[in-house]
Amino acid sequence: MRRSLVAANWKMHGSLTHIQDFVTDFSAVDNVDVVIFPPVVYLQAMASSLPMSIYCGVQDIGTSASGPHTGEVAAEMVFEVGGAWAIVGHSERRIDQSEMDDLVATKAAAAVRGGLHPIICVGESLAEREAGHEIAVVEGQLEAVLDRLDVAQLARGAIAYEPVWAIGTGRTASPQQAQEMHAFIRDKVAHVDEVVASQMRILYGGSVSPDNAAALFAEEDIDGGLVGGASLDAGEFSAIIAIAGVAATAD
Ligand code: PEP
């Protein structure tokens, strides 16, 4: 059975004061893994304010271990200061920084090389879904990763299905839409390695809230969530973690 995983993507939000307030009101449950992704400058402050059982990570990483790459941060450096996870391929980076599938796959491999667990984001735009291309788009994003990453490493990390049209919009994929894509992703990985596919966690991301989390997490192939807006509020985020804990018990 897969352990649930709930992750908080703070994007470019937060401050030292916000972290202090957040940790005061935050609570987790024993049967759910939790990772928080603050802006990278707050990684150590966040990691040292939380219990050891709550992991921290970065929202992006560079591809090299070191070198003349101004502004980049290596996975090895993140690991050294207590980070354990890295998000790669978030749609905001794919769009804002023009990150293509190959670069995302290289970043996933770099995360693993540096000792981090990658959360690899995939997902289609609204236009792609309306054209009926969502499976083909996600398949292409996945194939780029499977070509470059040892499949066994996927079991160490997670894939996050984040339909772009649901991120920060308040519009959520229905549990059925999300389950259909999650099942496709698991099946695609199973063609390469069935054991990894059965162990690998697939998170849903896109306007997850305490109101919709139970229905999403009840789906067979949804192993938790990557939460943006609702993760900035300790009460809302803790409620989502508690819902994941209940869903895991019901499995
Ligand atoms: C995200 O940032 O990955 C995300 C899913 O954001 P939100 O929950 O706000 O849609």
- Go through the domains of the chain in sequence order and give each one's CATH number: 4-250 (3.20.20.70)
pLDDT tens, residue by residue, 36-89: 999 999 999 999 999 999 999 999 999 999 999 999 999 999 999 999 999 999
Q: Phi and psi for 29 in degrees, rounded to 5?
A: -125, 155
CA of residue 230 to ligand 1 center, whole Å: 8
- Residues designated catalytic: 90, 162
- What is the signed CA dihedral for 162, 249, 1, 112, rounded to 10 degrees? 50
- Compute the average pLDDT of residues 223-241: 98
- 117-122/201-205 β-pairing: unpaired
Q: Which residues contact 80 (CB under 8 A, 6 or more apart)?
A: none
pTM (2 d.p.)? 0.96
Contact 209 CB / ligand 1 (< 6 Å)? no
Contact 168 CB / ligand 1 (< 6 Å)? yes
Count of CB atoms within 10 A of residue 11's CB? 18
Q: What is the pLDDT of residue 224?
A: 98
Of the residues 167, 169, 203, 212, which should be mutated to test ligand 1's pocket, given the most ligand atoms within 8 Å of the CB?
167
Q: What is the pLDDT of residue 229?
A: 97
> In terms of Cα–Cα distance, which of 227, 233, 228 is closest to 5?
227
Contact 9 CB / ligand 1 (< 6 Å)? yes
